[in-house]
Every structure is written in C-alpha cells, then in structure tokens.
C-alpha cells in the first residue's frame, strides 16, 4: 500500500527499540511504513516528541506498548497525541495492547481510581478512539468518553494449546482463583476440556480490599473531661442505633475443586506479573498429581525476579502474547514462549480506517471471554 495515498499514518510513541518492535510488525502486515517521528527524553527526563511529516486531515494510529517504565510510556503517548492534535490530524487512534493501571479500576479505601484518571488524560490529549486487548475488567470501557475496541487474545492462545501442547486432550483448564473461573470456563468449553478451580489462602482476592465503605474510623469511647466535646469521629453513635458487626474474613486452606491427577494442568489468566501466586499454584497442582503445568496469559509483564522464579518452579511453560515487550525475560528463562497478536491489531487498524464493521474480530466471542 502506498503510504502517501493511504490516508492514514501509523506512528510508534516508544523511545526504546524494544518498545517499537510490535509497531514494526503491525506496519509490515499493513504494507505501510512507520511514520517519521522522534521520541526521546531530555537530560532532565522531560519527554520530547518531534513529528517529521505532515498529518493534516489524516487518520493517525499511535502504537504504544508498555515497557517496564510505564509512567514514561504514558507520558510519551500523551505528548505525541497532543502534538498530532495540534498538527490538525483528523482522528487520533491509540493502539494500546496492554492498558496500564487497569488493576487500579476500583476504589481502595482512601485511594483513587487511577484508570479513570488515565482515561480522562488520554481524551484531553486528543485521542478519539482506542484499540486495546483483554482489559483487566471490561467495565473499564465505561471510563472513556470515546469508543474503545477491546480485542481478545484467546483465539491465539487456544490455537497454541491445540497445536503446541502434545496430548492436550488429556489437559484440564485451571482457574487459580474463583475470580478467574469465568475465563477458565470459556477456555474449557471451547476446548471441550474439564475445569478445576483453586480456592484458599494462597489467592490474593481483589474484592477483599475495601471499596471506601470503611471510611469512618472505628468508634472510640468518650474519655474527655466533663463538658468537653470530642470530635465527631470519637463520639458514640446516635442513641438507639446499633450497627451490626461484620465478621472478619478467614480464608480456608488452599483447595482444588476438580480432579487434576494424571492430567496436564493449564492455568489461564489475563496478566502475569508477580509470579509468586502462579508458582504456589503450580506446586499445589503437582502435589495433586498433575504431570505438566502450563500458564497461559495475554499480558506478560514478568516484573522483578519473575524469570528466575519461573525457571526454578514446577511450571513447564509460560505462554504470553507480545502485547508487552519481554525479550530480556525470555533470554533469562527459556520456559517463556510468545504468541504473536500483531495480525488482529493490524486488521483492526485497517477496518477502523476503512469504516468497516469490527464484528468479524469478535465472532464467537462471549461476555465471559
């Protein structure tokens, strides 16, 4: 395709070569050249973006993967979007395969919903549309004031299971926590396999963290001198009001609901970052008789000592997509395998620019996928 006549440009907002690798794969599939721009950090760590060609009246796609320095990557995306907006681009579409801060999408006591803040910042910078993949919570789409296409990586991971795992018919899909059971059930039904769910103290349940309703501090009995009023937070409740006391949660010892003995255990999730939970789950599954253990996840953040922990664990293979750069981690741990999803991202770009329906990319996709 001739770049000059295509009516759109594809830019990479990454200042690192590793971060631009996915953008190169996408442009190769589209048959276009990567837009000419320079993204770099000043000596004082300020982000600077210089767009080297005209974008007036065109659809602009900014591909931004999230390396380890997430905050710098976000700033690069914001600055580039604003530079394109002030250069009179017609539409600015962000291609953000892994959307950062997606785990911070619920209120945590006196914290904040950072994901909503980031959505507002992207809109203010000039983005008019976003293409992403496997949001941590689908409800995040409601934070945006413009369209969001939340693509799925499951077809690629399912294909990997069928083609690369020998005797996968003897496998069982495992959810490492009840919150992941819907995703695991979707995989199990598509592969016609059994389902097992892990539950117990090894899991880290997000729902256990408060949503802001514990805000008034605990009641303290009045102990001031007669006639001296204590602040409201230290006063007793109104006379005649007795609020029921909530029982403290206590997780049972970890259990596996389902028979994994003599099976290949395939744990599925959307993000694998801190691998301690996955390593603990693998040990339990080995004790229950699973003879091989695979981890399948869309986003392989693999932070800190994740490669070393995986290499030393009972896990046989970790399969992730290339939504996040992880070439360094693969060099440290040969158990890590990559599935390429540039094909579906390139097709999404083509369809959006041409005004075609996106339904084909979501065929047979259910609410639980």
Ordered strands of the 317-321 beta sheet: 255-257, 194-199, 171-175, 264-272, 292-300, 317-321, 336-339
pTM of the model: 0.85
Residue 75's CB is within 10 A of a number of other CB atoms, namely 18
- The CA distance from 177 to 190, in Å, is 20
Q: DSSP state, 34?
A: B
Q: DSSP state, 189?
A: H
Mean pLDDT over all residues of the chain? Answer: 88
What b/e sequence results for 121-152 when a residue is b if at least 16 CB atoms lie within 10 Å of its CB, and e otherwise?
ebbebbbbbbbbbbbbeeebeebbeeebbbbb
Predicted confidence (pLDDT) per residue in 199-251, tens digit: 887 544 454 444 444 444 454 444 455 555 555 455 555 666 777 877 777 77
For each of the domains in the chain, give its residue range(s) and CATH number, in order of start. 9-151 (3.40.50.2020), 155-201+253-339 (3.40.50.2020)
- Which range, of 128-137, 235-244, 289-298, 309-318, averages the lowest pLDDT? 235-244
Helix (H, G, I), strand (E, B) or coil at 333: coil
Q: Look at residue 1 in the predicted model and tell me its pLDDT.
A: 39
Q: Look at residue 68 in the predicted model and tell me its pLDDT.
A: 81
Largest CA distance in the chain: 85
**pLDDT band at 4; cut points 50, 70, 90:** very low
């Amino acid at each position: 395709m001739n770049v000059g006549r295509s009516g759109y440009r594809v830019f990479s907002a990454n200042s690192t070569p590793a971060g631009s690798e996915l953008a190169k794969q996408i442009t190769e599939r589209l048959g276009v050249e990567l837009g000419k721009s320079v993204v770099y950090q000043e000596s004082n760590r300020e982000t600077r973006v210089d767009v080297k060609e005209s974008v007036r009246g065109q659809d602009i796609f900014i591909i931004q993967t999230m390396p380890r320095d997430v905050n710098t990557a976000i700033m690069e995306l914001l600055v580039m979007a604003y530079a394109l907006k002030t250069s009179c681009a017609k539409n600015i579409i962000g291609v953000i395969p892994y959307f950062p801060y997606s785990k911070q999408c619920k209120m945590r006591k006196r914290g904040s919903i950072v994901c909503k803040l980031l959505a507002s910042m992207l809109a203010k910078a000039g983005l008019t549309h976003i293409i992403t993949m496997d949001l941590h919570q689908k409800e995040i789409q409601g934070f945006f004031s413009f369209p969001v296409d939340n693509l799925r990586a499951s077809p690629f991971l399912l294909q990997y299971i069928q083609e690369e795992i020998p005797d996968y018919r003897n496998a069982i899909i495992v959810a490492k926590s009840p919150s992941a059971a819907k995703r695991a059930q979707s995989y199990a039904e598509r592969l016609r396999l059994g389902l097992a769910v892990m539950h117990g103290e090894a899991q880290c349940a997000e729902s256990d963290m408060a949503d802001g309703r514990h805000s008034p501090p605990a009641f303290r009995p009045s102990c001031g001198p007669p006639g001296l009023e204590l602040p409201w937070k230290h006063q007793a409740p109104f006379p005649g009001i007795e609020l029921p006391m909530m029982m403290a949660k206590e997780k049972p010892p970890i259990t596996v609901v389902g028979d994994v003995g003599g099976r290949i255990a395939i744990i599925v999730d959307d993000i694998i970052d801190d691998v301690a939970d996955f390593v603990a789950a693998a040990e339990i599954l080995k004790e229950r008789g699973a003879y091989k253990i695979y981890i399948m996840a869309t986003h392989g953040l693999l932070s800190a000592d994740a490669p070393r922990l995986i290499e030393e664990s009972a896990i046989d293979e970790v399969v992730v997509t290339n939504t996040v750069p992880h070439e360094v981690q693969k060099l440290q741990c040969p158990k890590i395998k990559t599935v390429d999803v540039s094909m579906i991202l390139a097709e999404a770009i083509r369809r959006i620019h041409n005004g075609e329906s996106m339904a084909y990319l979501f065929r047979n996709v259910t609410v639980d996928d």
